Structure 1
Amino acid sequence: MENPANNSKHADSTGDCAICLERIQRKKTLKCQHSFCSECIDSVFRLKPACPICNTFYGVYTGTQPQGTMTVTHSFLKLPGFENCGSIVIQYNFPGGIQGAEHPNPGVRYSSTSRTAYLPDCAEGQKVLRLLRKAFNRRLTFTVGRSATTGLNNVITWNDIHHKTSINGGPESFGYPDPAYLFRVQEELRLKGMPLKLDNVKVDRKKRNGLRNPKNCLSVHHKDEVMRHEAVLASRPWPSIVRHCRVRAISFGCHDN
């Protein structure tokens, strides 16, 4: 089966617009050196300010998440597969409200909701936490729409950033063990415009309640699988796919529950 991403690269190199697949009209070239019809790329940027081919962002990408809170606590609870460290517990809370102009049905109410998610309290888990904070502050973690799980409309749903909402049960139950999860979610966050290289953040040990912060808290039998996954991520460009003027980001089974 032909890869649409390859079609996009081919279209750009032959003078065709990778969005409309026609000859480029009123050519606009981005700093990443990819070119499109001016009207086509302007329409894409109104949805997401990123190159449809290489996902280079231009400006800050913000979402339509309603007003809510993100609370983080640290626990001695050990997650399956990360038995050498504690855990990070993230609590999201959203009151009910009225949809705004950026939502599917302005003026229609949406109900309140709360979600709990878990990360291992190791260096990589803390990095993911910092990225999740940035995503939340940019209103990218949730949106208002139709729940893929319940089929209900006008509800607060996840917005393509995969969270572990169960402690155990594995990927099928949105839980642990899942050795490659921390790397997958970082790729999802990158597609939302989050910088993966963050400055080191000093952690207040008193606030951490003395919890250990090992550099690598993976169980021994999971390390080989993670190393294989890292090699795969390093070898793939992970471009966004454009078809019929719509941007499709790579997804890893995000859920609404």
Structure 2
Amino acid sequence: MPPGIQGSMSYSEMPISLQGHSRYSTLKITYTIPDGIQGDRHPSPGSPFQGGVFEAFIPYCEMTKRLLPRLKKAFKQRLTFTVTEKEDAAVVTWDCIPHKTSLQGGKSSNGYPDSSYLTRLSEVLTSHGIEG
């Protein structure tokens, strides 16, 4: 989340399974970032940016139960999103914490199956000092 911006993170369980995780239901994580004004760390301080609603999907398994508090911490520490310039406008985009934004399509489409995703997510969180 960009500095100085209030946003929210929520999640809900979906009664479907992701490819490669057929024994588990799915958690849909929803991040809501309101429009705002860029701060000192943004590309154009003082200029507006467009927020948005962002969704990600993760299998609801034991490892996820340990990762979820770490994802919340990453969000609160403003590691999940950033502001970037795109075609005459500044918008909120995903930052350094990897999220799966598609239910399918595999790794190349930011979806499932991706057998190494949960391990990779844990490693990225740890590299940013967010321990479980």
TM normalised by structure 1 equals 0.48
Matched residue, 1:66:
5
Q: Which runs of 5+ in 2 are unaligned?
A: none
Q: Which runs of 5+ in 1 are unaligned?
A: 1-61, 199-257
Q: What's the RMSD between the two structures over aligned residues?
A: 1.9
Matched residue, 1:115:
54
| CA 1:133–1:113: 2 relative to 1, 3 Å | same
Query: Hey, what's the Cα distance between the residues in 2 that align with 1:70 and 1:144?
Result: 17
Tell me the secondary structure at the aligned position of residue 53 of structure 2.
strand
Cα offsets for 1:66-113 (capped at 9, x unmatched): 321111111211111100010111001111111112322111000121
User: Do the aligned residues in 2 keep the contact of 1:64 with 1:140 (CA within 8 Å)?
Assistant: no
| CA 1:185–1:162: 2 relative to 1, 3 Å | same
2:94 is the alignment partner of 1:166: no
Tell me the secondary structure at the aligned position of residue 119 of structure 1.
strand
| CA 1:75–1:84: 2 relative to 1, 3 Å | same
Amino acid of the structure 2 residue aligned with 1:183: T
**TM-superposed deviation, 1:145:** 1.8
TM normalised by structure 2 equals 0.90
2:28 is the alignment partner of 1:89: yes
In our comparison, the structure showing a higher alpha carbon Rg is: 1
**TM-superposed deviation, 1:120:** 0.4
Query: Hey, what's the Cα distance between the residues in 2 that align with 1:146 and 1:132?
Result: 25
Q: How many aligned residue pairs are there?
A: 132
Query: Hey, what's the Cα distance between the residues in 2 that align with 1:153 and 1:109?
Result: 8
| CA 1:153–1:162: 2 relative to 1, 3 Å | farther
Matched residue, 2:128:
192
User: Do the aligned residues in 1 keep the contact of 2:4 with 2:39 (CA within 8 Å)?
Assistant: no
Tell me the secondary structure at the aligned position of residue 154 of structure 1.
strand
Query: Hey, what's the Cα distance between the residues in 2 that align with 1:190 and 1:135?
Result: 10
The structure where strand makes up a greater share of residues is 2
**TM-superposed deviation, 1:139:** 1.4
| CA 1:66–1:191: 2 relative to 1, 3 Å | farther
- The alignment-based identity, stated in percent, is 39
Tell me the secondary structure at the aligned position of residue 134 of structure 1.
helix
